[in-house]
Amino acid sequence: MSTSREHFSSKIGFILAAAGSAVGIGNLVGFPVAATKNGGGAFLLIYAFFVAFICLPIMLAEMGLGRRTQHSPYSAYAELGQNTKRWRIAGWLATITPFMIAVFYMVITVWIFGYLFQTLAGNLDAIAQPTYFGEFVNDYSFIAYLVAVTVIINFILVGGVRKGIERASKILMPTLFLMLILLVIFVLTLDNAMAGVKFYLIPDFSKITGSVINGALAQAFFSLSLGMGILITYGSYFRRNDDIVNSGKLVAITDTAVAFTAGLMTLPAIFAIYPETNPESLSDSSVSMIFSFFPQIFMQLSNTVGYGFASVAASVFFLLAFVAAITSLVSIIEVPTSSFMEKRNVSRSKALLVMGIAITILTLLAATSFGLLPWVSNVVTYAGIDKSLFDIIVDVFYDTILPLNGLLICLFVRYRWKRENFTAELSKGNSNYPNTFLHKYVNFAIGTFIPVILAIVFINTVAAKFFGVALL
């Protein structure tokens, strides 16, 4: 099947699709809570600094590599890396990482779908019970929700780049923005909401430690969908004369703006309902915030606005989270799917079938990691902690390999592709790029301190996660 490669029909199509990938569950809860716990405005400043000065150059490198080669990560690295083993490994890592992260993200998306279903069915009171989540994750109803989510994702992906990914993003992203704004307006009108805004925005530099800085970088990196081969793949669907540089900037700005705005929903909601909350006591885990804490907040809210209205607000919240998660999942599953299509010369629907089966099986295994199946619930012990299959996927791929993939693309641009060729690619569609400060900065940073910082993050994570040694 050697049809010519499909492309996004417009720059805005690409931007919405890439922003759809970037805006995910991390933006809605993980980012606002991390900011509030770790110095409020001070964290926001550091985060914005990382987005602009570390993440944007990597983003441009990924998009540039994709567009230059018109291939998905594996073949992109193989082609420009002249098929040397070292770069084939980088390409392989950029293909397997999204596959594994898709599994862990799929588990969470399926849970969100389950909660959405329950709130729509009028069961807010049930999901707000403290014991509900523990029972829910060990319930076989998971399978029904998994089937539904798989059908939705396949429905989008089988349409291909324009009729699938681009079209879905054009509908879903504006819907997401609208729901977010409606929720922010609603939450800000509650009594006491301003206490949350204060904790979120007032800077406290005394909270900034090495591990907070590391956390901010990891959050920014994940939030922009870097290191997962996604922007290489989407870059390969970008037309030759489209402007990568400005599109990349717009994607970064959109993602950061959504994360920031979500803080104006998440924190005020918490403090309006529980004014006595100590920010330090908020959970680091987005999972426990979304599935345990938030249902309780909505249930408490029914004392003020009534059960019906609180249920509607909860449904909008879970729908928002679901839309954010689906557009991210679509982008991440597209990476192994398109690699498979390319490598095996098979049709999109065949590739999707194979990926769908593989991801479903692994998702089922990962989802049974919470006690249902003992052998996946406790696979190994490292750094003194028993780990389930789900934990291993998060530790290895999300925490450890993501920054490694970022490091590899920097080294690739510096030593193999060469920075002048990278610049030439970014200049297509933006002929003024070589004269800009951004160009000088990107070429300098990507060849010097960005890989050093990522190497430090990588070593620190390996030491902390697998050996229990805190370096930073």
422 binding ligand PHE? (CB under 6 A): no
Query: Which residues lie below 8 Å from residue 436, measured CB to CB, with a gap of 6+?
Result: none
22 binding ligand PHE? (CB under 6 A): yes
Given candidates 13, 26, 248, 356, which one binds ligand PHE under the rule CB under 6 A?
A: 26
359 binding ligand PHE? (CB under 6 A): no
Minimum distance between the CB of residue 334 and ligand PHE, rounded to whole angstroms?
Answer: 10
Helix axes 348-367, 307-344, angle to 10 degrees: 130
Give the C-alpha separation, 216 to 199, whole Å.
17
27 binding ligand PHE? (CB under 6 A): yes
Given candidates 15, 21, 43, 342, which one binds ligand PHE under the rule CB under 6 A?
A: 21
Nearer to ligand PHE, 311 or 400 (CB): 400
39 binding ligand PHE? (CB under 6 A): no
- The answer to whether 250 touches 15, Cβ cutoff 8 Å, is yes
DSSP states of 276-287: T--GGGS-S-HH
| 291-330: contacts with ligand PHE (CB under 6 A) | 328
101 binding ligand PHE? (CB under 6 A): yes
**Residue 236: how many CA atoms within 13 Å on its side-chain side?**
24
Given candidates 133, 222, 234, 322, which one binds ligand PHE under the rule CB under 6 A?
A: 222
Q: How many residues bind ligand PHE (CB under 6 A)?
A: 15
- Report the relative pairing of strands 380-382 and 385-387 from DSSP bridges: antiparallel
Nearer to ligand PHE, 97 or 430 (CB): 97
Minimum distance between the CB of residue 109 and ligand PHE, rounded to whole angstroms?
Answer: 9
279 binding ligand PHE? (CB under 6 A): no
Radius of gyration of the chain (CA): 22
In 3D, which of 61, 46, 24, 42 has the Cα closest to residue 224?
Answer: 24
105 binding ligand PHE? (CB under 6 A): yes
Phi/psi of residue 221, each to 5°?
-60, -50
Query: Which residues lie below 8 Å from residue 78, measured CB to CB, with a gap of 6+?
Result: 87, 88, 91
Nearer to ligand PHE, 105 or 199 (CB): 105
In 3D, which of 230, 225, 248, 220 has the Cα closest to residue 433?
Answer: 248
225 binding ligand PHE? (CB under 6 A): yes
Q: Which residues bind ligand PHE (CB under 6 A)?
A: 21-22, 24-27, 101, 105, 222-223, 225, 230, 328, 331-332
